[in-house]
Amino acid sequence: MQKITILGLGYIGLPTAITLADAGFTVTGFDTNAEVVNILNTGRIHIVEPGLADALKRSMDGGRLTFTHELRESEVFYIAVPTPFFSEMGRISADLSYVSSAAEMVGKVIREGNLVILESTVPPRTTKMLSEIIEKTSGLREGQFYMAHCPERVIPGNMLSELKNNDRIIGGRTKEAGERAKAIYERVLVGGKVRLTDDLTAEMCKLTENTFRDVNIAFANELSIICDELGIDVFNLISLANCHPRVKILNPGVGVGGHCIAVDPWFIYEQFPEEAKLIYAARLRNDAKPRYVADRVSKAVAGKKKPVVAVLGLSYKPDVDDLRESPSIELCHELMQRGLTVVACEPFVPGDVSGIANLPLEEAIDRCDFAVVTLAHTAFREKKELIASKPYYDCVGLMKH
């Protein structure tokens, strides 16, 4: 199988398309957003990721990568579209409309012998559901086409390396589907290994990985609140505790963001609300952290006349432009709802963000009465003395460590 089409050209789909083309496949990137397709066809990228623009140019110059907003026949279809969540009547559920729509589109062009690989992170049993959608749309039976789930396992800022060096979990709906998918990933991987399983286990594996991190971060965030009450440095405490050979506590922050860790635990909880008590408690703790930080900041500026607060960092992690589920943005809105004037500095995103004035660091510090460090951007590490010129609350330990 040499001809591959990627459905979805966002943070996962685009690097995946480029990596497959770099491995020698003939790749077509498909997206319903014509503007994204037009940008990519000019050789530019619409996301921030180190090395991605150069890799895109190599693949396009080599004639192995093209982009379109019209889905056509292919030998392999990758589905790499978003799987957000929504809240309805107090219940949080996965929004599977994007993956369902992608499956319907594939069903209209798929041919016997084709392979479909779902890379989007999904709740248990979604791969089976998509296979049934393709069957219904195409008229083919599973067995006439092949279906597998291979959840992405990359982190923004290091995607091109991790796509080639991280182990990949492949869950085939059938043994042959898994073997066909394995043959593709083995041509891509340099340092990582392919590990075969069934589709249900693969779905749970990705959710388990991110839920583990969410629970660990919740513990760290809870420690930070307790340490505030005790008046001790939580980052020093964690460093000392991690000297134990069997302890590895993550660092706290302003909350948990991004499209994975802040979302995936809900995919387990929505199907198992009675069993997932710890998972639910961790989600509540992490979701509440921006409000806790807002409480601390409000107390710190109480009594000041029309105080201005500068929030330093709006993306969900250091040195990326990804704003999805960002707890820093939620913090800004919390402070604004309390009547405070808020400015921000997010060097990786041009212009204002979600109604928040986004300023250069020097201007943000100059205008503010109080600063909140929410991310350890390299640009902030290099300007710690400037930040320290104003009273501040450090959520991530940037100023001391």
Domains recognised in the chain with CATH numbers = 3-206 (3.40.50.720), 232-394 (3.40.50.720)
Rg (CA), the chain: 23
Residue 90 confidence (pLDDT): 66
Under the phi-then-psi rule, with left for phi > 0, alpha for psi from -120 to 50, and beta for the rest, what region is 201?
A: alpha
Given 260, 332, 345, 368, the catalytic residue: 260
Residue 374 confidence (pLDDT): 98
The band of 157, judged by pLDDT with boundaries at 50, 70 and 90, is: confident
Coil vs helix vs strand at 30: strand
Q: Alpha carbon of 174 to those of 24, 143, 177, 182, 327: distances in Å?
A: 26, 8, 5, 12, 40
Residue 168's nearest CA partner among 138, 192, 187 is: 192
The C-alpha atoms of residue 80 and residue 94 are separated, in whole angstroms, by 15
* Catalytic residue list contains 368: no
State pLDDT tens for residues 315-342.
999 998 889 899 999 999 999 999 999 9
Residue 401 confidence (pLDDT): 67
Percent of the chain with pLDDT over 70: 99
State pLDDT tens for residues 238-271.
999 999 999 999 999 999 998 889 999 999 999 9
Sign of the alpha-carbon torsion through 122, 127, 132, 135: positive
Asked if residue 156 has pLDDT above 90, the reply is: no
**What tokens appear for 303 in the block?**
């009594």
Q: Average pLDDT over the chain, rounded to whole?
A: 95
Q: What is the dihedral of CA 236, 238, 244, 246, to 10 degrees?
A: -160
Backbone angles phi, psi at 110, to 5 degrees: -70, 150
The C-alpha atoms of residue 79 and residue 149 are separated, in whole angstroms, by 9
Residue 91 confidence (pLDDT): 73
Given 206, 289, 368, 395, the catalytic residue: 206
Rounded to 10°, the helix 175-188/13-22 angle is 70
Residue 5 confidence (pLDDT): 98
State pLDDT tens for residues 214-242.
999 999 999 999 999 999 999 999 999 99
The C-alpha atoms of residue 138 and residue 334 are separated, in whole angstroms, by 48
Asked if residue 155 has pLDDT above 90, the reply is: no
Residue 117's nearest CA partner among 149, 140, 144 is: 149
What's this model's pTM, rounded to 2 decimal places? 0.89
The band of 295, judged by pLDDT with boundaries at 50, 70 and 90, is: very high
Tokens 């408690």 belong to residue: 281
